Amino acid sequence: MNINRHTQATLIAMALCWLPNSNITALQKSTSSSIFQKEDKGTADAKVFNLLSSYTGGRLVSKTFDFSHSKLTDTQEDGIKIAEGTKFQINSLRSDIYIDNKSKQPVFNKRYPMESAVNLLMNMVSNDTHRINITHHQYGNVRKRVSVPLNAIYLLLAADKDVYCCVTKIDANHIEANLVMHQPKSDYIHLFVVQIPISELFKPEGIITADLYSNIPQENVKSIYSKQEKRK
């Protein structure tokens, strides 16, 4: 599951250097409804940070899935299946969920750190207590930091978006992944570049970190991916 690192770097650069008079669609105004209006990227980025920094509690109610009757695909790991989702732009950036074939529940087990990390980032771990320390890269080379419960980012930013995940690096001590939240109606994304220490992955109230690049216009993402595919 590898995303082209040049593509990721280009996305990040674009998020940081967007023209001030460029119009993009606004992020959701509240957790229950969204309004769509034209505004500059600096304003939209500031709204994202204000949502995160003013979080006071609550969590997004996850959809109920019955994986016992789902069409599950085999993996290279014995006993682990995939409940297939959809892809976003590239094959490795997907909404798949890893399932324990015996219990028919999402995997969250020390034997399967990669699969568990994906399920965690897809908001499929019940009663999750992780926290995420975020460095938010805003327009104008502004960086602000905020720490919230991991489930808060889905409540605040993903209620009206499709979510995709891709593990980009894994070793004995560390997992790196991209988490993308796509707003289909207005066609922009929020990109989290997430760092998960293996030592924190299964720890109650474990701490993970992320760089957040918000309000990236989707039409430009399509162009970048297209160029990268042609170079292969």
> Dmax of the chain from CA atoms?
54
- For residue 54, give both structure tokens: 């003013």
pLDDT at 227 over 60: no
Question: Which of 18-27, 108-117, 179-188 ranks highest by mean pLDDT?
Answer: 108-117
| pLDDT digits 0-9 by tens, 114-169 | 999 999 999 999 889 999 999 999 999 999 999 999 999 999 999 889 999 999 99
- Higher pLDDT residue, 13 or 201? 201
Per DSSP, the residues of 91-151 read EEEE--EEEETTTTEE---TT-HHHHHHHHHTT-STT---EEEEEEEETTTEEEEEEEEHH
What confidence category does residue 187 fall into, taking pLDDT thresholds of 50, 70 and 90?
confident
Residue 191 to residues 39, 103, 104, 127, 167, Cα–Cα distance (Å): 19, 32, 30, 24, 13
Side chain identity, residue 151: N
Q: What's the confidence (pLDDT) of residue 13? A: 45
Handedness of CA 151, 153, 158, 164 (dihedral sign): negative
Q: Are 85 and 96 in contact (CB under 8 A)?
A: yes
Amino acid at 81: K
pLDDT, tens digit, 9 for 90 and up, residues 67-109: 766 678 989 888 999 999 999 988 889 999 999 989 989 999 9
Averaged over 209-213, what is the pLDDT?
Answer: 97
Separation of alpha carbons 80 and 210, rounded Å: 27
Average the pLDDT over each of 11-15, 31-35, 202-206 and give the range with the smallest value: 31-35
**Is the entire prediction scored with pTM above 0.85?**
no
